[in-house]
Structure 1
Amino acid sequence: MQPLGERIVVQREESETTTAGGIVLPDSAKEKPARGTVVALGTGKLLDDGSRADFQLAAGDRVLFSSYAGETVEVDDTEYLLMREDDVLAVIE
């Protein structure tokens, strides 16, 4: 999948299935994690002069994002998030 413009594709990390105390969580109690790995980048934001801005992210970066960021898309039974680079809050090092 190749995003357009300033959009990126992120694969969300798997959520924890057990708590620190060893309690197994059912699917209904799991929160979707707000972190993932950048899979693909668009062409960059179109600037007023017609050029494209470079991304601050790169494919493979682990990132934190808002829990309401992006649109969920499923491709080949894998769930991805399609979001703008601005929706990313931080890069996890």
Structure 2
Amino acid sequence: MAKKFIPLFNRVLIEKVVAPTKTAGGILLPESTSKLNSGKVIAVGAGSRGKDGNTIPVSVKEGDHVLLPEYGGTEVKLAEKEYHLYRDDDILGILQD
């Protein structure tokens, strides 16, 4: 079994953030209240190659909280955890506190 997964080229491994379904007081929240599709960057590839042969680095880094498209990505299961693999170009942006 692999101990660490390193994406190739401009791919990014992301663990999706699951929104809470109820408040601290126990009130159940409807699914539509938290529809933000986001995740935490777990691993990044080295980047893609430009026409001149130089590496174009990935625009996110490990630990970033990112906004993801509603559809897309490849589901990957590693050590019984579910992750998603996206291309750097598919990530919509970085979320900051």
Q: How many residues align?
A: 89
State the shift of 1:69 in Å.
Answer: 2.4
Give the aligned partner of residue 87 of structure 1.
90
Q: Of 17, 22, 30, which aligns to 2:27? A: 22
Q: Which aligned runs of 4 or more in structure 1 are off by greater than 6 angstroms?
A: 29-32
Which residue of structure 2 aligns with residue 77 of structure 1?
Answer: 80
The 5 Å alignment of 1:21-40 reads 22-23=27-28, 34-40=37-43
User: Which residue of structure 1 lines up, in the alignment, with residue 12 of structure 2?
Assistant: 8
Q: In 2, Cα distance between the equivalents of 1:87 and 1:60?
A: 17
Contact 1:9-1:81 within 8 A present in 2 as well: yes
Aligned-pair identity (%): 31
TM-score (norm 2): 0.79
In structure 1, stretches of 5+ residues that fail to align are: none
Report how far residue 77 of structure 1 moved. 0.9
**Aligned Cα RMSD in Å?**
2.3
State the TM-score, normalizing by the size of structure 1: 0.82
* Contact preservation (8 Å) 2:10, 2:57: no
Distance 1:23 1:14 in 2: 15
| Residues 16-58 of structure 1, C-alpha deviations (whole Å, 9 max, x = no match) | 2237x92266xxx688851000111111011111111022111
Unaligned runs of 5+ in 2: none
